[in-house]
Amino acid sequence: MKLEIYDNSDFNRGAPRWKRGLWVIVRGVFFQNPCPWGSAFRSALLRAFGAKIGKKVGIGSNVNISFPWRLVVGDHVWMGDDVGILSLAQVTIESNVCVARRSFLCTGSHDVRREDFKTKVAPILIRTGSWIAIGSLILPGVTIGEGAVVSAGSVVLKDVPANCLVRGNPATVVHEISRGPECAKAYRVSRVCDKSLSPSPDPAAVVEGSPHITKDGR
C-alpha cells in the first residue's frame, strides 16, 4: 500500500462540519470521561445529535461513539464502560442487548487489495436479547443473531446464528444455547460431573453488574 496517495475526501460523514465539530466537544465533556453523568442525560444528548435511542438505556463512562446520527438503540440496552462504536456506517442495537465494557463495534476497514488503502464500510446489526461479552470485537457487516452470546475477547468476522454461543479469534460456534430453569439446572449438574471442564463449580460471570447472567448466556 502507498499511504501517500490515500484519499478519503469522497467519504460521506453524514453531517455538516459544524455538527461533527460540536459532537467532538460534547463527546469529550459528557461521554469520554469518568464523570458520572446520568444515562438518561447522555441518551438525550445522543438524540439531539440524531441518534435513535430507546427507553431505559444504560451508558457507561468513556463510551466513544463516532457518529451518533448513524446509531439506533432499542429499549433496555446496556453499554458498559469503554465501549467503542465506530459508526462510519449504520449501527443498530436492538432491545435487551448487553454490550459489555471495552467491546468495540467497528463498521470501518480498508481495502488491502488497493494501493491507496481505500476506506470501506458496512453496517452492524445486533439482534434482540444478545450479549456481547467483555472486550469483544465486532467487525464490519456482521449481524449478531437474536439471543446469541459472544464470549469475552472474541473477534467476530461473520454473522452469528441466533441462540448460539461463539468464542475465539476468529469466533466460531461453540454450541447452541438452551434457556429455561430446567436447562440451567442440567448445566450446573454437568459442570460438577465433567472433570474435564473448568474446576470452578460456578460458571457465573458478572457482566456490567448483572451476576444473574452466566458466561454462556444461560
Query: What domains lie within the chain, and their CATH numbers?
Result: 13-177 (2.160.10.10)
Whole-angstrom CA distances from 34 to 21, 29, 92, 193 are 22, 10, 25, 44
And the C-alpha cell for 120? Answer: 470501506
Question: How confident is the model at residue 207, as a pLDDT?
Answer: 40
Residue with cell 454450541: 175
CA distance 2 to 124: 29
Question: How confident is the model at residue 111, as a pLDDT?
Answer: 87
Q: Are strands 108-110 and 91-93 parallel, antiparallel or unpaired?
A: unpaired
And the C-alpha cell for 18? Answer: 459544524
Mean pLDDT of the chain: 85
**200-217: per-residue pLDDT in tens?**
344 344 343 343 334 444
What percent of the chain has pLDDT above 90? 70
Cα dihedral 19, 99, 109, 52, rounded to 10, equals -30
pTM: 0.81
Provide mean pLDDT across the span 67-82. Answer: 97
Position with higher pLDDT, 134 vs 3: 134
- 128, 143 in Cβ contact below 8 A? no
pLDDT of 186 higher than 90: no
Position with higher pLDDT, 205 vs 107: 107
pLDDT of 218 higher than 50: no
What percent of the chain has pLDDT above 70? 82
Give the start-end residues of each E strand in 131-205: 131-132, 137-138, 143-144, 149-150, 155-156, 164-167, 172-176
Provide mean pLDDT across the span 76-100. Answer: 97
Provide mean pLDDT across the span 174-182. Answer: 80
